[in-house]
Amino acid sequence: MSSARRHLVSIDDLSLAEIKSLFEHAKRFAEDLRGFAKVCPGLISASLFYEPSTRTRLSFESAMLRLGGGVLTAADMRATSASKGESLADTVRVVSGAYADVIVLRHASEGAARLAAQYSAVPVVNAGDGSHEHPTQTLCDLYNLWLERGRIEGINVVLAGDLRYSRTIHSFVYALARFGANIVCVPQPGFELPAYVVQRLREEFAVEPVRADATRLGDLALASDAVYLTPQKPHQLSLFTDGGKGLAVGRVDALYMTRPQTERFKGDDLPIQKYQQLSKREMSVESLRDAVVMHPLPRRDEIQPDLDEDPRSIYFKQAARGVPIRMAILAFLLERIDLGVPAHSLDARYYPAPVGENPCRNTTCISRTETRHVRALYRLAARFPIRAHCAYCSHEIVAPLVGCTTTRHAHFFDSASARRIRPDHMVFFASEAEAAAAGYAPAARAAAAT
């Protein structure tokens, strides 16, 4: 494979123009799902699923078969060499050696797909990495909005339910921000968007969360601390008016409901007494009259069966449309279709942490759960004061001290002297004691640069 090999690890790996072009190809595939068996003959997709899946795995395998290719499936990695202690890196190197032409990976650890892409000789598709991202589900969701509403730019989307652990929501909110959609978050209390997601929205998309008056959403938002997100200025929007309690929600184009991601709950999460629900009653409020109802499935009780026949409910269409959009994704990554637009993504430069140092404190990050063949990486979010994120899981690196591997001095993260450290020479410390234990002497705190 050439050095120009593309992976789909994050929704950021595609430009907006590429995403729209994928939609056009998916629409063409959807017109005759049996008519494109000559697109990928002789090519093989490998499904490596370390977590359970129905729709994602089957839709990818259906997509590859409909393109005329073949499929290798490891749907239960407990029955593979992973149960013998084989690392993800080694598994990927073996499978990408001669077994398959593309790898579709689902893994419980955040950042697993990025690690796999470092070792794979073929394209890697992220089919969900922990609670981090799920870019192909996001493409499917965007594709549905594009079909149902004719555009994504400027539409008004409500996200409800478990926004904390839903990787689908995290990828989706980044993409909606990039397209310039208006977003209202109506989370289950205690399951708001993670701080690192909100922080990235601020830093990269100029989104500032503002308290929203969601009373017009009725019982759905009765106990929720609703938040309004937009890359535009509030006064430019007809969706919101200043009602004194915050920006008031008006007409909604789409309502995206999520289930409680109980498999990712942590020990300090309080039990959910009553989860948000959608039924004909909740959908009868005026603001939701024209809203399509979306859900990535599987559902539990958060969407009642009485909504299944409602013409606004598109969640089963949403699942079916996962096949043509994934046909387009596979055909693109395998270089069997030309998107006809310039390749561009939200590029980020990653720097390796010094050997033996892992500044990421997220215990479910792949840099923590894999003990071999993974080196901690980070990316800088700001130079003054120094702020950095783990390149795998995107969590912020909490480090009041930044060391320089050349001088072996430790500087306060908000000092002018820290700003002069080269990114590839930085090492992060949680305390002065930790810095001293690593052999770094304290540097005098410099005044902030003006």
d(CA 224, CA 80): 43
Decide: helix, strand or coil at residue 73: strand
Residue of 132, 134, 321, 368 marked catalytic: 134
**Is residue 99, in this structure, part of any structural domain at all?**
yes
Cα separation, 26 vs 327, whole angstroms? 7
Amino acid (1-letter code) at residue 178: R
Q: From the candidates 20, 25, 106, 167, give the one annotated as an active-site residue.
A: 106
113 is written with which tokens?
């797909």
Is residue 421 within 8 Å of 405, Cβ to Cβ? Answer: no
Rounded to whole angstroms, the Cα distance separating 12 from 330 reads 17
Q: Looking at the structure, do residues 122 and 225 belong to the same domain, yes or no?
A: no
Q: Are residues 143 and 288 in the same domain?
A: yes
- On the question of a cis peptide bond just before residue 298, with omega within 30 degrees of 0, the verdict is yes
Q: What is the pLDDT of residues 391-409, one digit of tens each?
A: 999 998 888 999 999 999 9
pLDDT in tens, 316-330: 999 999 999 999 999
CB 92 within 8 A of CB 36: no
CA angle 230, 236, 242 (to 5 degrees): 85
Q: Is 56 a catalytic residue?
A: yes
Question: Strand runs (DSSP E) across 295-449, as ranges?
Answer: 351-352, 377-383, 386-390, 401-404, 409-412, 426-429, 441-442
Domain match, 329 and 286 both: no
Same domain, 72 and 163: no
Q: Report the alpha-carbon distance of residue 346 to residue 79 in Å, rounded.
A: 37
- Here the CATH number for the domain that contains residue 387 is 2.30.30.20
User: Are residues 206 and 146 located together in one domain of the fold?
Assistant: yes
**144 and 222 both lie in a single domain:** yes
- Gap between the Cα atoms of 165 and 159, Å rounded: 13
The Cα–Cα gap between 146 and 176 comes to 12
Could you count the other beta carbons within 10 Å of the beta carbon of residue 126?
Answer: 29
Q: Which residues, at least 6 apart from 302, have a Cβ–Cβ distance to it below 8 Å? A: 161, 257, 258, 259, 260, 275, 276, 277, 278, 295
Q: Are residues 255 and 384 in the same domain?
A: no
In this prediction, the residues of the chain whose per-residue pLDDT falls under 50 are 1-3, 234-244, 446-450
Which of 317, 340, 316 has the alpha carbon at shortest distance from 328? 340
Token representation of residue 313: 């409910």
| Residue 5 forms part of a structural domain | no
Instruction: Establish whether 344 is a catalytic residue.
Output: no
Q: Which residues pair with 129 in a beta bridge?
A: 107, 133
> How would you list the strands of the sheet with 386-390, edge to edge?
351-352, 377-383, 386-390
Q: Domain containing 22: what range?
A: 11-130+322-333
- The reply to whether 34 belongs to the active site is no
CA distance 119 to 89: 6
DSSP string, 114-129: HHHHHH-SS-EEEEEE
The residue annotated as part of the active site, out of 20, 56, 57, 170, is: 56
**Residue 3, domain member (yes or no):** no
Q: Is 155 within the bounds of a domain?
A: yes
In a domain, 148, yes or no: yes
pTM: 0.86
pLDDT at residue 82, rounded to an integer: 57
**Nearest Cα to 102, choosing from 121, 88, 83, 119?**
121
Q: Count CA atoms closer than 13 A to 84's CA, side-chain side.
A: 6
Backbone angles phi, psi at 355, to 5 degrees: -55, 135
pLDDT score for 81:
54
Same domain, residue pair 140 and 221:
yes
Total domain count for the chain? 3
Residue closest to 160 by CA, chosen among 303, 322, 313: 303
* Residue 241 and residue 302 share a domain: yes
Query: What is the C-alpha to C-alpha distance for residues 380 and 172, in angstroms, rounded to an integer?
Result: 23
Q: Examine residue 372 and state whether it is found in any structural domain, yes or no.
A: yes
* CA pair distance 177, 155, nearest whole angstrom: 11
* 279 and 178 in a common domain: yes
Q: Is residue 4 part of a domain?
A: no
Are 125 and 140 part of one and the same domain? Answer: no
| 389 labelled catalytic | no
Residue 192 lies inside a defined structural domain of this protein:
yes
Token pair in block for residue 87: 């690392």
Which pLDDT score, from 0 to 100, does residue 243 have?
A: 45
Q: Which of 78, 84, 266, 349 is catalytic?
A: 84
Both 119 and 228 in one domain: the answer is no
Active site residue 134: yes
CATH number at residue 186: 3.40.50.1370
Alpha helices of 83-227 — where are they, by DSSP H? 88-94, 112-119, 135-149, 167-179, 195-205
Residue of 5, 28, 55, 202 marked active site: 55
End-to-end CA distance of the chain: 49
